[in-house]
Amino acid sequence: MASSVQAYQVTIANSVTGVAPADGFVDPKRIEDYGLNLKTTPSGMTLALNKAKERGNWRWKSIFDQLGLVTNVYLHAPSIVSNGTATTEATSVAFQIYVQYGDDALTTQDELVSGQTLTGMACLKRCIARGLAADYFRMTEVFDPTGVAGAWGGGTATVPRYGMRIDVASGFEIGPYATVSAAEGYITVAKK
């Protein structure tokens, strides 16, 4: 069987304003990846925003976990486009993936319609929607930017009080961004 690789362009629109633990739109970048000086408290940064950012990071991972259950998916990292910042969510996230054997490798059961099977781009869309709809707990680190003024010998700089917080006891909940059916409406998949 000859190997054929198909490229797909994926765009996920940020269409929900959720509250914890359903907050945090998909974000491929961790807070540390934004190039901020985290020795002082960055302007506008709060613990609640960083928790939402962490949830967005886990949603990004969850999408690829779901895709990986169906087939081998290769992310073209330079293709990732997001206008999110360290303190604001992106309006959308776009990226390109490659699937060996293309549509022929993409098949999954339709949990919304009993007995139906989804293939090709419909399968990709469903897997991504499942990643957005997942509800789970993780032990993770979240940067706590809560500052204390004058921490450096009475200076005026606000210094993060705690650094990283690790949610251990109850875990860190990543609630569903949307239901599977609603999430599919926020996702666009096209062959490249």
Domain ranges of the chain: 5-29+42-136+177-191
- Closest residue by Cα to residue 121 from 7, 12, 37: 7
**Does residue 37 or residue 12 have the better pLDDT?**
12
Q: Sign (positive/negative) of CA torsion 181, 185, 127, 17?
A: negative
Least-confidence region, from 9-18, 50-59, 74-83, 158-167? 158-167
What is the β-pairing status of strands 141-144 and 147-149? unpaired
**Does residue 2 or residue 186 have the better pLDDT?**
186
Q: Kindly report, residue by residue over 64-80, the tens digit of the pLDDT.
A: 999 999 999 999 999 99
Q: Is the pLDDT of residue 138 over 50?
A: yes
Contacts by 118-123, CB closer than 8 A, 24 or more apart: 121/8, 121/189, 121/190, 121/191, 123/70
Q: Is the pLDDT of residue 1 over 50?
A: no
pTM over 0.85: yes
Q: Is the pLDDT of residue 163 over 60?
A: no
Average pLDDT of every residue of the chain: 89
Amino acid at 125: K
Residue spans of alpha helices (H) in the chain: 47-68, 120-133, 180-184
